Amino acid sequence: MKVELRVLKKEDIHILQALLVRCSDYLIFQDEEPLKSTAADDLFGSRPEGVEVKDKFLLGIFVDGQEELVGVFELVQGFAGPKTLSLALMVLEIFSRGQGIGSKAYEALEEWAIGHHFNKVRLGVLFGNVKGLKFWKCMGYSETGEVKPHLSNKFMVLEKTLGVPSELALGKQTLLQRSVNIG
Protein backbone atom coordinates (compact mmCIF):
# COMPACT_ATOMS: atom_id res chain seq x y z
CA MET A 1 0.00 0.00 0.00
CA LYS A 2 1.34 3.40 -0.99
CA VAL A 3 0.26 6.44 1.00
CA GLU A 4 0.67 9.89 -0.54
CA LEU A 5 0.26 13.33 1.05
CA ARG A 6 -0.84 16.28 -1.07
CA VAL A 7 -1.44 19.91 -0.14
CA LEU A 8 -5.16 20.60 -0.43
CA LYS A 9 -6.34 23.79 -2.10
CA LYS A 10 -9.69 25.56 -2.10
CA GLU A 11 -10.53 23.69 -5.33
CA ASP A 12 -10.51 20.50 -3.23
CA ILE A 13 -13.33 21.72 -0.98
CA HIS A 14 -15.86 19.17 -2.33
CA ILE A 15 -13.65 16.12 -1.74
CA LEU A 16 -12.72 17.50 1.68
CA GLN A 17 -16.37 18.00 2.66
CA ALA A 18 -17.17 14.45 1.50
CA LEU A 19 -14.29 13.15 3.65
CA LEU A 20 -15.46 15.13 6.69
CA VAL A 21 -18.92 13.60 6.31
CA ARG A 22 -17.30 10.15 6.34
CA CYS A 23 -15.36 11.18 9.48
CA SER A 24 -18.35 12.72 11.23
CA ASP A 25 -18.19 10.20 14.11
CA TYR A 26 -14.98 11.81 15.35
CA LEU A 27 -15.85 15.37 14.35
CA ILE A 28 -19.15 15.25 16.28
CA PHE A 29 -17.19 13.99 19.32
CA GLN A 30 -14.67 16.82 18.90
CA ASP A 31 -17.04 19.68 18.10
CA GLU A 32 -19.97 18.53 20.27
CA GLU A 33 -22.45 19.33 17.48
CA PRO A 34 -23.59 17.87 14.16
CA LEU A 35 -21.24 18.31 11.22
CA LYS A 36 -21.90 21.57 9.38
CA SER A 37 -22.39 21.77 5.64
CA THR A 38 -19.61 24.38 5.73
CA ALA A 39 -17.14 22.16 7.63
CA ALA A 40 -14.59 21.98 4.80
CA ASP A 41 -14.73 25.72 4.21
CA ASP A 42 -14.40 26.30 7.96
CA LEU A 43 -11.38 23.98 8.10
CA PHE A 44 -9.67 25.89 5.29
CA GLY A 45 -10.41 29.26 6.88
CA SER A 46 -9.95 28.77 10.61
CA ARG A 47 -6.61 29.39 12.29
CA PRO A 48 -5.37 30.42 15.72
CA GLU A 49 -5.16 34.10 16.49
CA GLY A 50 -1.90 35.59 15.29
CA VAL A 51 -1.26 32.83 12.73
CA GLU A 52 -0.86 34.01 9.14
CA VAL A 53 -2.65 32.27 6.27
CA LYS A 54 0.69 31.02 4.88
CA ASP A 55 1.44 29.19 8.15
CA LYS A 56 -1.67 26.98 8.16
CA PHE A 57 -2.33 24.29 5.60
CA LEU A 58 -4.07 20.99 4.98
CA LEU A 59 -2.41 17.83 3.69
CA GLY A 60 -4.71 15.27 2.12
CA ILE A 61 -4.06 11.56 2.57
CA PHE A 62 -4.45 9.45 -0.58
CA VAL A 63 -3.84 5.70 -1.01
CA ASP A 64 -2.47 3.73 -3.97
CA GLY A 65 -2.73 6.59 -6.46
CA GLN A 66 -6.49 6.92 -6.02
CA GLU A 67 -8.11 10.36 -6.20
CA GLU A 68 -10.43 9.69 -3.26
CA LEU A 69 -9.34 11.52 -0.13
CA VAL A 70 -9.17 9.07 2.81
CA GLY A 71 -7.83 11.44 5.46
CA VAL A 72 -6.45 14.87 6.23
CA PHE A 73 -3.86 16.57 8.42
CA GLU A 74 -4.45 20.15 9.57
CA LEU A 75 -1.06 21.75 10.27
CA VAL A 76 0.14 25.04 11.69
CA GLN A 77 3.79 25.95 11.50
CA GLY A 78 5.53 28.14 14.03
CA PHE A 79 2.53 28.56 16.37
CA ALA A 80 4.10 26.69 19.31
CA GLY A 81 7.66 27.73 18.44
CA PRO A 82 9.75 28.56 15.38
CA LYS A 83 10.78 24.97 14.62
CA THR A 84 7.63 23.32 15.98
CA LEU A 85 4.85 21.97 13.82
CA SER A 86 1.40 21.87 15.41
CA LEU A 87 -0.80 19.01 14.28
CA ALA A 88 -4.25 20.48 14.86
CA LEU A 89 -6.23 17.60 13.35
CA MET A 90 -5.77 14.19 11.81
CA VAL A 91 -8.81 12.25 10.68
CA LEU A 92 -9.20 9.11 8.62
CA GLU A 93 -12.45 7.83 7.16
CA ILE A 94 -13.91 4.90 9.08
CA PHE A 95 -13.09 2.32 6.37
CA SER A 96 -9.41 3.33 6.34
CA ARG A 97 -8.88 2.98 10.07
CA GLY A 98 -7.03 0.01 11.52
CA GLN A 99 -5.28 -0.82 8.22
CA GLY A 100 -1.94 0.91 8.81
CA ILE A 101 -2.86 3.90 6.64
CA GLY A 102 -2.69 6.33 9.56
CA SER A 103 0.76 5.10 10.60
CA LYS A 104 2.11 5.31 7.06
CA ALA A 105 0.58 8.75 6.55
CA TYR A 106 2.07 9.99 9.82
CA GLU A 107 5.51 8.57 8.92
CA ALA A 108 5.31 10.48 5.59
CA LEU A 109 4.30 13.62 7.48
CA GLU A 110 7.24 13.23 9.85
CA GLU A 111 9.66 12.85 6.92
CA TRP A 112 8.17 15.99 5.38
CA ALA A 113 8.52 17.88 8.69
CA ILE A 114 12.17 16.87 9.10
CA GLY A 115 12.84 17.88 5.49
CA HIS A 116 11.34 21.30 6.28
CA HIS A 117 13.60 21.69 9.35
CA PHE A 118 11.01 21.19 12.07
CA ASN A 119 12.46 19.57 15.18
CA LYS A 120 9.26 18.96 17.13
CA VAL A 121 5.58 18.18 16.55
CA ARG A 122 2.89 19.00 19.11
CA LEU A 123 -0.72 17.87 19.15
CA GLY A 124 -3.70 17.57 21.46
CA VAL A 125 -5.72 14.47 22.26
CA LEU A 126 -9.20 14.95 23.66
CA PHE A 127 -10.02 13.19 26.91
CA GLY A 128 -12.06 10.14 25.99
CA ASN A 129 -10.20 9.53 22.72
CA VAL A 130 -8.56 6.32 23.96
CA LYS A 131 -7.73 4.99 20.48
CA GLY A 132 -6.19 8.30 19.47
CA LEU A 133 -4.02 8.45 22.57
CA LYS A 134 -2.81 4.88 21.99
CA PHE A 135 -2.04 5.67 18.33
CA TRP A 136 0.01 8.78 19.14
CA LYS A 137 1.94 7.03 21.89
CA CYS A 138 2.77 4.23 19.43
CA MET A 139 4.04 6.92 17.06
CA GLY A 140 6.51 8.03 19.77
CA TYR A 141 4.63 10.92 21.38
CA SER A 142 4.83 11.72 25.09
CA GLU A 143 2.44 13.64 27.31
CA THR A 144 3.79 17.07 28.28
CA GLY A 145 1.61 17.35 31.38
CA GLU A 146 -0.28 20.28 29.85
CA VAL A 147 -4.07 20.03 29.85
CA LYS A 148 -6.13 22.62 27.98
CA PRO A 149 -9.87 23.25 27.72
CA HIS A 150 -11.86 22.48 24.58
CA LEU A 151 -15.58 23.29 24.68
CA SER A 152 -16.97 21.17 27.56
CA ASN A 153 -14.02 18.75 27.35
CA LYS A 154 -10.26 19.01 27.79
CA PHE A 155 -7.30 17.79 25.80
CA MET A 156 -3.85 16.69 26.80
CA VAL A 157 -0.87 18.01 24.90
CA LEU A 158 1.59 15.51 23.47
CA GLU A 159 4.82 16.18 21.66
CA LYS A 160 7.58 14.39 19.86
CA THR A 161 11.10 15.51 19.12
CA LEU A 162 11.80 14.59 15.53
CA GLY A 163 14.75 12.44 14.57
CA VAL A 164 14.44 10.40 17.78
CA PRO A 165 13.24 6.85 17.08
CA SER A 166 10.05 5.81 18.84
CA GLU A 167 9.97 2.73 21.06
CA LEU A 168 7.87 1.03 18.38
CA ALA A 169 10.49 1.77 15.72
CA LEU A 170 13.26 0.64 18.07
CA GLY A 171 11.34 -2.57 18.71
CA LYS A 172 11.02 -3.20 14.96
CA GLN A 173 14.73 -2.47 14.54
CA THR A 174 15.61 -4.91 17.34
CA LEU A 175 13.42 -7.59 15.76
CA LEU A 176 15.04 -6.94 12.40
CA GLN A 177 18.51 -7.19 13.93
CA ARG A 178 17.51 -10.43 15.67
CA SER A 179 16.22 -11.96 12.44
CA VAL A 180 19.46 -10.97 10.66
CA ASN A 181 21.61 -12.39 13.48
CA ILE A 182 19.66 -15.66 13.56
CA GLY A 183 19.70 -16.10 9.78
Q: Percent of the chain beyond pLDDT 70?
A: 89
Query: Quick one: pLDDT at residue 164?
Result: 62
User: What are the domain boundaries of the chain?
Assistant: 3-182
Q: Is residue 13 packed enough to be buried (19+ CB in 10 Å), middle (13-18) or exposed (0-12)?
A: middle
Instruction: Quickly list H helices, 50-119.
Output: 101-115
- The whole-chain average pLDDT of the chain stands at 88
Q: Please give the Cα distance from 179 to 39 (Å, whole number).
A: 48
Number of Cβ atoms within 10 Å of the Cβ of 48: 12
Choices 3.40.350.10, 3.40.1130.10, 3.40.630.30, 3.40.50.300: CATH for 3-182 = 3.40.630.30
pLDDT of 180 > 70? The answer is no
41-55 confidence digits (pLDDT tens): 999 999 888 888 889
Length of the chain: 183
Strand-pair partners of 91: 72
Q: From edge to edge, which strands make up the β-sheet containing 120-126? A: 3-7, 56-63, 71-77, 84-92, 120-126, 153-161, 142-150
Q: What's the whole-number mean pLDDT along residues 151-174?
A: 74
Taking only the tens place, the pLDDT of each residue in 103-124 is: 999 999 999 999 999 999 999 9
Give the contacts of 143 (CB within 8 A, at least 6 positions apart). Answer: 156, 157, 158
For residue 81, pLDDT beyond 80: yes
